Structure 1
Amino acid sequence: MKMIKKVAMSATALVFIGSSVFAQSLADAKKAIDAEQYQKAKSLLKNLTTTQPTKDENYFYLGWVYNEQGYTDSAKTQFNKGIAANPKSAINYAGLGAAAHLDKDAAGAKANFDKALSMAGKDSKTYVYVGKGYLLLPQGQNAVAAADANAAIAVLEKGKTINAKDAELLVTLGDANLAILKSNEANAAYSDALLVDPKSTTAAVAQGTLWRMANNWEAAENQFKAALTIDPNFGPAYRAWAETNYRQAQSDPKVASAKIKEAVDHYKQYLNLTDMSLESQLRYADFLINAGDFATLQQVTTELSKKANANLRVYRYLGIAAYENKDYANGLTAMNKWMSQAGPNRVIANDYLYLGRLQMATGADSLGIISMKKAYQLDTTKADVFMEIAKSDYAKKKYAEAGDAYNDYFTKSHKGTLIEHFQMGIAYYFGYTTKTNPTPADTILLTKADSALSYVSQKATSPVGDVILYRAYINDTKDADRNNIKGLAKPFYEQYITLQSAKPNLSDPDKKKLASAYVYMGTIYEYKDKDDAKAAEAYNKAKELDPTNKQVVAYFSRKTGGAKGR
């Protein structure tokens, strides 16, 4: 009996030892996920799925790491393995819903989330990860949609009734409220989480992030320091601190230089604490884009692209950095690699925007315009692409096309300055005057030009000389039949003369413009009105302003010669 009892006790001890090792290992993996040490977490979890293949949680957390990294196909594989291990694994259905959400499959996300919640029972963790699933950002989305945040809040509030002391649930509830700028609700949730678990590093950092959004730099930094007091190796605290430094630098020019340096130092500490994984460095790339440090971004991504296991997303960042650094050829190569291999679900509007910019910068204008318009099709908030197209076309003397692009910009963005409307008018005017053999149909360009400048005249608080002068040019161009001059430009030249003559001092360029206005009036008086006295008066005023004007010289030469002849 003693021997049997001893064997039984040994077996029990082994069970407890095995359970302890499993629990500790899973806890370590979850801690690594919270610390954004994804490589370490994956290594631990892959080992657990091998040594503990019947534990559905192991597959879930491994799948969740893949979700965090955007590898939804790999994530789904793990969640399905978890369900195979335990068909009633609610949390793995939550994972499938989150993966579907990342893939922009709204129906699939809802179906899996609903199934997860129907099976959850009293397990608040399922509610946590359904809530987190709604808060994950699909490709091309820079912020949580209000509908997703509200869906997360609804789920998490239900989870709170099941377990009001789940610190992770409370932090996630705070995140959901913060996503729609419900600061008071977010602060209450984070505070509740810290009451439940005073050692929650994620809650401390989350509350610091809340203070950052309120531009309370001191309170934010105190929370990051508090998190690092709990765990000096908690990398996300340094990342959030770096992002706070950067925001403060943007808000206060007096400390900008010092805070940017602090931001870089803190981000380096974050990288060192997150096992320098590729994913951590890609997050660093996001930070560099926001900071506008494209020189460092190109250096970092160039090195990353040389690694055998380089994430394809590196080429997106490399393309952006190279464009901003005017390294257009290398930028186009990198962006083409990303666009051709990433797959449609991973390509976003901003990718087409930079592809278009790179194509246009390397001379492939037609392709560039197609790409930039594709960016607008994917994201209609990017109507500014038409302004970029307009300026590019104008610089390359494609004036009529530039005018159309300006018009698209005004129509689609519902905004535009008076200067931009003026530029559209000039573009259409040059679109006509630079044509080698304009046809009668091309006069529509002059009509568009005059319409644009008329708009500026109506909206301007006072008359603008150049607007009046170009309307004169446009209407003079319309008056094409020199044998039957109608004087369409006359009222505009008269207005211009009145405006400019009232100025006490004129620059040399303005004198030349005013002289040309008097020349026009002289021509009208001489040939249309047959009033030689007024013609002579106009030409004499033009001569005072610009004696070298060719038409002035010709007039007086003609008149002098005529007098001698008589």
Structure 2
Amino acid sequence: MNKLKTFSVALLASAFASQAQDIDQAKKAIDAEQFESAKAILKSIIKENPSNGAAFFTLGNVYLTQNVEDSAKIYFQKGLTASDEANLNYIGLGQMDLDNNDVAAAQAKFVLATKDMKRKDFAEYVYQARAYMNAEKPDYKNAIAILNRAAIKNADDAQLQLALGDAYYGDSKQNEAYVAYRSAFQADNSLLRAKMQLGVLLKGAKSYDEALKAYEEVIAINPNYGPVYRELAETYYKIARNKPSQAAVNYKKAIGYYDKYMALTDYSINSRMRRADFLILIEDYVALEAEANKMIELDKVNPRIYRYLGYAAYENGNVDLALKSLESFIASPTNKVIAKDYLYLGLTKIKKGTSEDGLAIDSVAFDSGMKGLKKAIEMEPLAVQDLSDIGKKLFSQKLYKESAAVFESGASSPESTNYLDDNVYFGLANYYANINKKEGEKVDAIALSKADAAFDKVLVASPTYLEAYLYKARTNRLLEKDDLMVKNYEDYLLKTMELGAEEIAKPAVKTKFIECYNNMAASFANTDKPKAIEYFKKTLALDPANNYATESIKILKQ
């Protein structure tokens, strides 16, 4: 009996060791972003041992990573009934509360998860901090505070230091993040993610060459570590954005590394979606449409595929397919609709309403499209940055009123990188929409006032953009505000003269000076004839053959 008992205990210990090893194997697969493999391992563990709460929790987290909330919730709730480490599942459910902006409910669950912790336990704190970091609205400061509590118990733990590095990185504390990542790798030199994150820090600091070297060091240790190739892909994407002249070459490198990443992870529907997101980044819409069609073959009912198909179809000129796909995606109440979805829907409607020659847009279609664009901006204010090129295209097609409508939001967003350009074009579009009015047709005083205000913003943001004074003058001339027009022309003349004789001598500047003098003179013709004559003479000093000035002086002297 004693021998049998000893054997049974040994067997039990062996079983637990095997189970622990399987959990570790699953965690390694998760770290390598081989999520389908991790799910298979964890489901096997749960099937063999449904009392393993940690397996439920880990599986639920994989589903959360893949944005499959329904499955995540099912496993967290089942995990609560496990006899071992069931408390961890409260943390998973707490993260879901955070995703739904219910902080109080999340905190209540975190209390349940930690109430029975022993003196040396700290893993619950690490998982709780991860929940705050992984939530849709991350709270890095709270995560740091929780991890510092865990560090009191075991500051040398590699996973704790890795989590601290991620929290500091999210909180824009680069130095602290560097120290934590370095400490994590020193504590466990098999933890390649910690070493890789040192390269991510360099990428964030735009030290791209140094980041590439850091990734190569990771590859030298393990050339089959998939995530490092994703980071390489994203770094080459950044390089392409910063070096437009070499963008094509670097985009090609980027997608090559991303495909390497895919080969080392998996080709599941979720992985294909991650690749689709990357194709959007590098603006390869032909490849995106092909990827979307492959995903439809794999999963005909997954609604997110129609987002990708909608984006690709719009960019590839298939407006009807884009409209059908996007409307189908947005209409479903179960989908998480983002600003970009409404942005593409709005642009699609505008494109569908545009004539083949590009010289007219159906007003109903345009207004419907603008509702989509405004909804996108309401959800994400910086979506205005994506509208600049559209506004410029409309401007080039002489669709000035429509162009102004597109630029208006960007012109009111100082945080936008296109703020200056958008105000220039917003002002110009409103001005040009009013200079060719038919006889008897009134100008749009509201639009012209907006143009004047836009040019004021331009002068604040870029005081050397002297053309703004000219367009303010021209705008106020249309508004028949002669006093303001004269002031604007005077400002242009004064600011230009400050640049010196060489600037004034330029033919284009000379032409603008003549415009200033003639319009100022005309404004004084009925109220101050000597002053009017004085300005016309300034015109003739620049252009003795100027007929308008010559004839006007004759009339004024009568």
**Structures share fold, TM-score greater than 0.5:** yes
Distance 1:150 1:487 in 2: 56
Deviation at 1:177, TM superposition (A): 1.0
CA distance in 2, matches of 1:237, 1:329: 39
Cα distance in 2 between the residues matched to 1:246 and 1:402? 30
Aligned to 2:269: 278
Q: Does the C-alpha gap of structure 1 residues 69 and 414 become closer, same or farther in structure 2, counting only changes over 3 Å? A: closer
- Residue 362 (structure 1) aligns with: 352
1:496 Cα offset (Å): 9.3
Q: Distance in 1 between matches of 2:524 and 2:88?
A: 86
**Residues 514 and 219 of structure 1: is their aligned pair in 2 closer, same or farther, counting only changes over 3 Å?**
closer
Instruction: Return the alpha-carbon distance in structure 1 between the equivalents of residues 434 and 241 of structure 2.
Output: 45
Q: Is the 8 A contact 2:63 2:71 kept in 1?
A: yes
Tell me, in whole angstroms, the C-alpha distance in 2 between the residues paired with 1:288 and 1:403.
31
Return the alpha-carbon distance in structure 1 between the equivalents of residues 227 and 483 of structure 2.
73
Who is 1:482 aligned against? none
Q: 1:372 touches 1:385 (CA, 8 Å); kept in 2? A: no
Could you tell me which runs of 5 or more consecutive residues in structure 2 were left unpaired when the two chains were aligned. 354-364
**Who is 2:342 aligned against?**
352
Q: Pick the aligned partner of 1:181 from 150, 172, 175.
A: 172
Percent identity of the aligned residues?
30
Contact 1:171 1:206 in 2 (8 A): no
Deviation string for 1:330-386 (max 9, x for gaps)? 333332232223636x21222222222222222232222111111222223434467
CA distance in 2, matches of 1:229, 1:492: 65
The reply to whether residue 55 of structure 1 matches residue 56 of structure 2 is: no
Structure 2 counterpart of 1:478: 480
Helix, strand or coil: the match of 1:382?
A: helix
Q: Which has the larger radius of gyration?
A: 1
Match of 1:331 in 2: 322
Change beyond 3 A, Cα 1:107–1:324: farther
SS at 1:42 equivalent? helix
CA contact (8 A) 1:49 1:59 kept: yes
Cα distance change of structure 1 residues 258 and 46 upon mapping to structure 2, 3 Å threshold: same
2:293 partner amino acid: T
Find the aligned partners of 2:213 and 2:479 in 1 and give their Cα distance.
Answer: 69
Q: CA separation of 1:86/1:260 partners in 2, compared to 1, >3 Å: closer, same or farther?
A: same
Q: Structure 1 residues 521 and 252, CA, compared in 2 at 3 Å: closer, same or farther?
A: closer
User: Offset at 1:420?
Assistant: 4.9
Report the equivalent of 1:564: none
Secondary structure of the residue aligned to 1:306 is helix
Amino acid at match of 2:68: Y
Find the counterpart in structure 1 of residue 132 from structure 2: 134
Higher mean C-alpha displacement, 461-470 vs 191-200: 461-470
Give the Cα separation in 1 of the matches to 2:260 and 2:445: 64
Q: What secondary structure sits across from 2:343 in the alignment?
A: helix
Tell me by how many angstroms 1:423 deviates.
Answer: 4.0
Q: Where do residues 518-533 of structure 1 align in structure 2 (5 Å cutoff)?
A: none
The answer to whether the 8 A contact 2:469-2:492 is kept is: no
Q: More displaced, 494-503 or 178-187?
A: 494-503
1:93 aligns with 2:90: yes
11, 33, 36: which is aligned to 2:33?
Answer: 36
Alpha-carbon separation, structure 2, partners of 1:223 and 1:515: 60
Matches within 5 A, 1:492-531: 506=507
The farther-off stretch of 263-272 and 434-443 is: 434-443
2:213 equivalent to 1:213:
no
Partners of 1:181 and 1:523 in 2: how far apart? 57
Q: Distance in 2 between matches of 1:458 and 1:7?
A: 88
CA contact (8 A) 2:411 2:426 kept: no
Q: In 2 relative to 1, CA 108–388 (structure 1 residues): closer, same or farther, beyond 3 Å?
A: farther
Deviates more, 1:269-278 or 1:443-452: 443-452
Q: Residue type of the partner of 1:128?
A: V
Cα distance per residue 1:88-142 (max 9 Å; x no partner): 622111111122223443333222223222233343221221111111152xx6x
Q: 1:112 to 1:392 in 2, by over 3 A?
A: farther
TM-score, length-scaled by structure 2 = 0.77
1:72 aligns with 2:69: yes
**In structure 2, the residue corresponding to 1:120 is in which secondary structure?**
coil
- Equivalenced residue count is 536
Q: Say whether the 8 Å CA contact 1:242–1:263 is kept in structure 2.
A: yes
Q: Does 1:289 align with 2:280?
A: yes
Change (3 A) 1:467 1:438: farther
The 3-state SS of whatever aligns with 1:85 is coil
Higher RCO structure (Cα 8 Å, ≥6 apart): 1
Show structure 1 runs of 5+ residues with no match. 480-485, 560-566
SS of 1:478 mapped into structure 2: coil
CA RMSD of aligned residues (A): 4.7
Report the residue type matching 1:355 in the other structure. L
Q: Which amino acid aligns with 2:132?
A: Y
Q: For residues 299-337 of structure 1, give each alpha carbon's deviation from its aligned partner in whole angstroms, at most 9, with x where no partner exists.
A: 323322332366433332333334344443333333223
Whether contact under 8 Å (1:429, 1:474) holds in the other structure is no
Conserved? CA contact 2:472–2:485, under 8 Å: no
